[in-house]
Structure 1
Amino acid sequence: MRFPIVLTILLTISLQSLAEDGGRRNERHFGRHSYLKVFDARGQLIGRLGNNASQEGVFLRVDGALVFAPVRHKQLSSDQWSASQFEWRDAGVASMTTDCVSIPGSSTAASPRPVLLIRQGPEVTMFIAGTNDSGGVSGNDSYWRRGCAPGSSLQADEWAPQASYSLTEHYPEPLSIRY
């Protein structure tokens, strides 16, 4: 009678010990500080997946400016999205040339420095606003303006880009998100 009780106790203790070791191993493998990371098509780490203004993406330093570049599931067709591949989330502007861009004020919530991502074919360019808003500044050919109306001025909620950065040149698509 004693043997089954002792055997049960020993089995319980050994199983509990194995479970604790497995938990420690998982913690070492995934770590308490494990987080999802964004990688480009070459497998190069872009950065840690973050969330800003209800969008998922990655924080980047571009020429000293901290910006947030949003990502989304890769669009395969007009109504189909990839489950495992991702792409840069552009502004959805159908056609725009680099001399006709302004950054809408609503984008200021999506980045520490306001940005506008524009996709032209397979290329995605990030337009980065200056450090001060441009509202009320009279039109100037040196500003990239939406609509390209000569002599028009930036509205109070628009920013003139200070720089542009080719995201797909530095971080080609498709992107992947993993530990």
Structure 2
Amino acid sequence: MSPGLDRDRLRPRIRAVMDRLDAAIPRGVGTKGVWRLPDRRALEQVLTGGARFAVEQGHGVTRDLQRCEDGGVLDGADAATVSDRAIERGLGQIGSLGSGNHFLEVQAVDRIYDDGAAASMGLAEGTVCVMIHTGSRGLGHQICTDHVRQMENAMGRFGIEVPDRQLACVPVNSPRVGRTWPPWQPRPTTDAPTANC
């Protein structure tokens, strides 16, 4: 959609726009992404380069990076910590919406509450915009599963018990964590979610 599109101009064409979006956006369980990656090396470039790498490959425009947290890339992302199984699951999913709570929604601005913030994003009352919530899909799920399992296996050495394995943890300063620290702070593992947005 063109920047600055007004709700009144879109209204008579909304059905056609929705039909085109429906046809163009891979979504749902088992769907493949629009970006076909040939091998682990290519996915590792996505994992470390994030949205910046996606834009360099023609899957976005530079302006997109200005609207992404941290310019669409996490410094220090380390694809070497990602398992072969996670890579296998992620190879075909980059550039897809996914399922569950992932969505793309066409919206229009009804009211402005912060003029400066709205202006910085090119928004005015009536402006059509798109909200997207997606993520790293099977890749991210597998990375999380791998790290939860590592934490779960290590907890006993620290006398930690949790009521749910999803809460598995070890002390932050643990030497056990080292190179395999999960993708959340302070040492990010991958940039797949930003590349997929």
Q: TM-score, normalised by structure 2?
A: 0.23
Name whichever structure is richer in strand by fraction.
Answer: 1
Compare CA radii of gyration and give the structure with the larger one.
1
Name whichever structure is richer in helix by fraction.
Answer: 2
Q: TM-score, normalised by structure 1?
A: 0.24
